[in-house]
Amino acid sequence: MRRLLKWFFVTACATAGICGALIVAMWVSLDIRYGVVYFLSEHFDLNPPIASEQLARQVQALKRVALVDASGRSFDWKSSRRAIVWVNEWANWCVPCRMEFPAMKALQDRVGKDKLRIVLLSQPKYWIADKLAAKEIGLDFELVSPLKASEADLAAINLAKRSGQFLLPENTFMRSNGNGLRAFHAVRPWDSMTWETIIRHWYEPAFSG
């Protein structure tokens, strides 16, 4: 009986050790790690929306700074016409940012470019590298950067930076008239039916008829 219990205990410990090692290896793997985060974001609100007063400050900063596109031209918010504007702050080194691009594109394709305009926002210090990365990836989104913005405005644009952090990606949804809708830190399941419904819900009350 003692031998059986000893054998069972040793087997259980070995199994637990192997499972633990596999879990660690899976978590270290970025693809699986962010796949888990992606799944949890679909079912649990891990990253709640940014508070409305913070969102207002962020939108004001975005409208105040002079944004330049990849061709060197000034970015015009009015050219959005009636579309919902999705500002995605990213960087070339940000793995979650790159991972969410296909889902963002899928959502835009389903809703329509006339209803959802995606604008990728780069911090000035990453601008050159971001443009090269976007060309390499083959992104079909607009690229802009606040090249001459003050540190205060840059901190207002990336809300987490105000508290000494710098979180990417950061996603802000606005109406073409500049009114903020919602803003979120981190990856979301953008290609889900939930987000398609949300975008259509935001668009139709403001622009229908």
DSSP 72-124: SPBP-GGGGTTSEEEEEEE-TT-HHHHHHHHHHHHHHHHH-TTTEEEEEEE-G
Closest of 75, 80, 51 to residue 149, by C-alpha: 75
Can you give the residue ranges of every domain in the chain?
2-42, 48-207
Q: Does residue 17 carry a pLDDT above 60? A: yes
Per residue in 91-127, pLDDT tens? 999 888 888 999 999 999 999 988 899 999 998 989 9
What is the structure's pLDDT at 159?
55
Average pLDDT for the chain: 76
If pLDDT is split at 50, 70 and 90, which confidence band does 167 have? confident
What is the structure's pLDDT at 163?
46
Q: Kindly report the pTM of this predicted structure.
A: 0.70
What is the structure's pLDDT at 118?
93
What is the structure's pLDDT at 38?
46
Strand order in the sheet with 84-90: 68-69, 142-145, 116-122, 84-90, 170-174, 180-185
Print burial letters for 169-183: b (CB count within 10 Å at least 16), e (below 16): bbbbbbbbeeebbeb
State the Cα–Cα distance between residues 94 and 158, nearest whole angstrom.
15
Per residue in 18-52, pLDDT tens? 766 666 555 444 444 444 544 544 444 444 555 56
- Domain spanning 48-207: which superfamily? Glutaredoxin (3.40.30.10)
